[in-house]
Amino acid sequence: MTKSNLFGKGGWTPSRIESANGKTFLITGANTGAGFEATRILLSKGAKVVMLNRSPSKSHDAIATLKQEFGNEANVSYIRLDLSSLSAVRQSAKEILSQVPTIDALICNAAIAQISTQQLTEDGFESQLGVNHYGHFLLCGLLFDRINESKGRIVVVASEGHKMGLRTMQFNDMNWDKNYNPNKVYSQSKLAQMMFAYELQDKVKAHNKHVQVFVCHPGASNTTLIRESANWVTRISWSFMVKIGLAQSAEKGAYPEVMCATENNLKQRAYYGPTGLMNFGGPVGEGKLEEFAVDKEVLTKLWAVSEEATDFTWSF
């Protein structure tokens, strides 16, 4: 079930962006997939984009490709970011703050998915929760003041997968040591990202800050997210979806995050993405925000758990 589309039958498209000249966008996981396509769209509108990626070689290749398309004057750069390491996130944030004077939007796009067997980050977190949630939680906190200075935005890229698990946090075993399941753990990590965003909205309002926070999802997009890390059943199922055309292009998968980073007059307590069959694709607009994703008791507890886990207390 979706709401009537604010942008008409065809939904939101990048044609609505008149110009992004003078705007600076940071995108995590921007050297491939939807993050790369979001970078392309924003560069085509005159924006400055700073890609935050783990791989230097892939980043250099991506920049070369983009400059071949848009010319050497394309304002695209790269700062290394490894979301699986809290110390690395802190170091990257220092570099960002020293090199990027203005942040108009931070798009939290990077993710890992369906890791077939339990893996832990160097900080001892289950890897999907550690990368998708804790890494972004810390990064957003470290950059928040800079984003607030420009009355900027934080865009959290979630997933329809948030509906496929427990629909809450397994607080008594966040690492799923006793009952690890790649899909359910991925679901928890994406739900955690959403809950972080909605709790941040409440805190921004309570402290009279100027950051807008949006949540979106890319639908079923043909990106590199599901690869060798997934089990064979997931890989085969995904390959079948791609073959029969249920998975849309990575470019269209980027539309929701670009929309949330640029479009005026969007509602914040909302969930945006494709609104077609099963929300896999179709016109981009506002979808249904499930009640469990905004359960205030869980939101508040997750925030406290996340501050303790990352050893970072947000200051408003």
Task: Identify the active-site residue in 186, 198, 271, 272.
Answer: 186
**Is 272 tagged catalytic?**
no
Closest CA to 252 of 38, 18, 17: 38
Q: How far apart are CA 47 and CA 172, in angstroms?
A: 44
156: Cβ contacts below 8 Å, ≥ 6 apart: 108, 136, 193, 194, 196, 197, 213, 214, 215, 216
Query: Which of 40, 17, 26 has its CA nearest to residue 262?
Result: 17
Please answer whether residues 201 and 209 qualify as being in contact, where contact means their C-beta atoms are separated by less than 8 angstroms.
Answer: no
Question: Which of the 8 DSSP states describes residue 223?
Answer: S
Measure the CA–CA gap between 83 and 30, rounded to whole angstroms.
13
Token duo for residue 68: 């071949």
Which 3 state secondary structure label does DSSP give 11? coil
Alpha helices, H only, 55-209: 56-70, 86-99, 127-128, 136-149, 182-206
The Cβ of residue 241 has, within 10 Å, a number of other Cβ atoms equal to 15
Beta carbons within 10 angstroms of residue 304's beta carbon? 11
Active-site residue list: 186
